[in-house]
Amino acid sequence: MSQIKQMIILNRQGKGVKTIARILDISKNTVKTYLFKLDKLLTSNRSEKLTVETLLGLDEPELYTLFHPGNPSYKDSRYEYFKANLGYYLKELEKTGVTRAVLWEEYRQAIPDGYSYSQFCFHLDQQQTAKGKPSMVLDHKPAEKLYIDFAGKTISYVDRETGEVIACQLFVACLPFSDYAFAMAVPSQSTADFLYALSRCMEDLGGVPQLLVPDNLKAAVVKADRYEPDINQALEYFANHYATAVLPARARKPQDKALVENQVKILYSRVYAKLRNMQFFDLTALNGAIRTKLKSHNQTRMQKKPYCREEKFLADEKALLGDLPAERFELRSYSLLTVAKNNHVYLSADKHYYSVPHTLMGSKVKVAYTRSMVFIYHEGKKVAVHSRSFKIGAYSTVKEHLCSHHQHYRDRSPEYYRNQSAKVSKVLYEYVCLLFEQNRYPEQLYRSCDGLLALARKSDTGALEKACKTAMENGIFSYKFIKNIIENHMEDESVQNNNTALPKHQNLRGKAYYSNQQTIKF
């Protein structure tokens, strides 16, 4: 069904019937039938006027019901089997003693009602003749194609916290007309990272080419096939969003994307080699360095040509690119999760915890995540937004999501208590500062400060200040001491020194008395 949109886009770009049929690998009659129905839909007297933009904006099933496409063309099952085993036959023919007759006998044992010997040889001749065709220099048109591939070698940075070397994939793309290149490092060759890099490439180019020509990587092509490759559905959505079409390179045919293969080789020396002695601590810094080296590469004069890639691109190609859409394409994944008692949800794709407002503990929430962001919804309402993190077992916590008690617990620090006491009184601030100079365990000091702040809320400020002054005069730094002074209304009294001498009197027992006691026998 998605090929209908591809056909509409190509037709709007001015492609002929033959060109569309070749790109989409469908018959010319089918293309003519679709175009006839398209013209009929656009010119019919309907209650609501249909336009090309309206059709492209429809979902695939809705568009399918408007066109009612016919059944797929008939294919001979014998040829499908022959085509699937063709590589084996051609490889076996290179071995000593293996002839066409031997292969045909083995073929008929597997498929008794298969091709006759003459038909078998005819199809082999067809393939061997095609295989022996010489290569040719392609005449590329400006802004027509964008070749896409990943470099075979990884490029890395160092995690600042753990010291681990993180290997990244290098996404590479180029416009064959000007050979203008784009490259950036991404964590993996996953569909999400691939489409993110491709969208950044479009933004760097400042426009959209007519065709995307990816290699047969899994993020772009589900099943590689010379004639009918199955394109990843996410890539089809991406192409429809950017109003372009996808034409994968043939499997195991590097000559189909020779320019981007050559770009990778050049970038090994102009990017990899230049950065080999430099160390980076995050992906952003690594991509910044790649961008600098890539700019130098695009501005380097090409051999046997009086211009550089950037000059050719700006002069003859950039103005012909299609317009970028208003919003960048984002691939979203969804998951239904339960909020744990610690008001976090565990996203297994990241092996990471994300906070949710504490009032939703035990509730079911829907989590939508893109390559860089995580959105959490409850009953259709967005309740939390986080930057996506891939630190295994770690927590991404927004302070406001915690209950007041937990927020206070996280905020505790000497500076926090100094600031809180300064809001109450200058004397209390001075007392708290002296309290933190004591050689005591921090948790004990925090609890003493909590008690003092609680007293400040319940007591008269003047009485609290007098009690603090009395405590400081006597060098006593204790919440209980301040509390006793205030509760017993002793803030106006001074603490007396109890180390006074006893009065003299006659009732004293000396050394002689205790010596006589020892002689008494019982």
Q: Is the pLDDT of residue 449 over 80?
A: yes
pLDDT-wise least confident of 209-218, 287-296, 377-386: 209-218
pLDDT at position 229: 46
Name the pairing type of β-strands 230-231 and 221-223: antiparallel
269 or 232, higher pLDDT: 269
Q: Tell me the pLDDT band of 95, cut-offs 50, 70 and 90.
A: confident
The dihedrals phi and psi of 383, each to the nearest 5 degrees, come to -115, -15
Q: Is the pLDDT of residue 259 over 90?
A: no
Percentage of the chain with pLDDT > 90?
13
CB 345, CB 376: distance < 8 Å: yes
Q: Is the pLDDT of residue 29 over 70?
A: yes
Q: Is the pLDDT of residue 92 over 80?
A: yes
In angstroms, the CA 106 to CA 113 distance is 13
Name the pairing type of β-strands 395-396 and 364-369: unpaired
Q: Tell me the pLDDT band of 216, cut-offs 50, 70 and 90.
A: low
CB 166, CB 232: distance < 8 Å: no
pLDDT at position 522: 45
pLDDT tens-digit profile of 136-184? 555 678 888 898 888 888 999 998 888 899 999 999 989 888 889 999 9
325 or 498, higher pLDDT: 325
pLDDT at position 168: 93
252 or 299, higher pLDDT: 299
pLDDT at position 182: 92
Q: Tell me the pLDDT band of 207, cut-offs 50, 70 and 90.
A: very high
The dihedrals phi and psi of 377, each to the nearest 5 degrees, come to -120, 145
CB 56, CB 240: distance < 8 Å: yes
CA-closest candidate to residue 214, choices 224, 227, 200, 203: 224
In angstroms, the CA 50 to CA 68 distance is 16
Selection from 5-9, 383-387, 492-496 with the highest mean pLDDT: 383-387
Q: Is the pLDDT of residue 520 over 80?
A: no
pLDDT (mean) for 66-80: 57
pLDDT at position 512: 65
User: Three-state DSSP class for 72?
Assistant: coil
pLDDT (mean) for 479-495: 77
pLDDT (mean) for 352-356: 89
Q: Is the pLDDT of residue 228 over 50?
A: no
> What are the beta bridge partners of residue 389?
none
Q: Is the pLDDT of residue 217 over 70?
A: no
pLDDT tens-digit profile of 375-415? 999 888 888 999 888 888 888 888 777 765 555 555 567 88
Q: Which CATH architecture has domain 145-320?
A: 2-Layer Sandwich (3.30)
Two tokens, residue 413: 């620090």
Domain ranges of the chain: 2-67, 77-131, 145-320, 333-403, 412-487
pLDDT-wise least confident of 68-82, 102-116, 317-331, 359-373: 68-82
Q: Is the pLDDT of residue 47 over 60?
A: no
Find all residues with CB under 8 Å of 225, minimum gap 6, and list them. 251
What single-letter DSSP state applies at residue 380? T
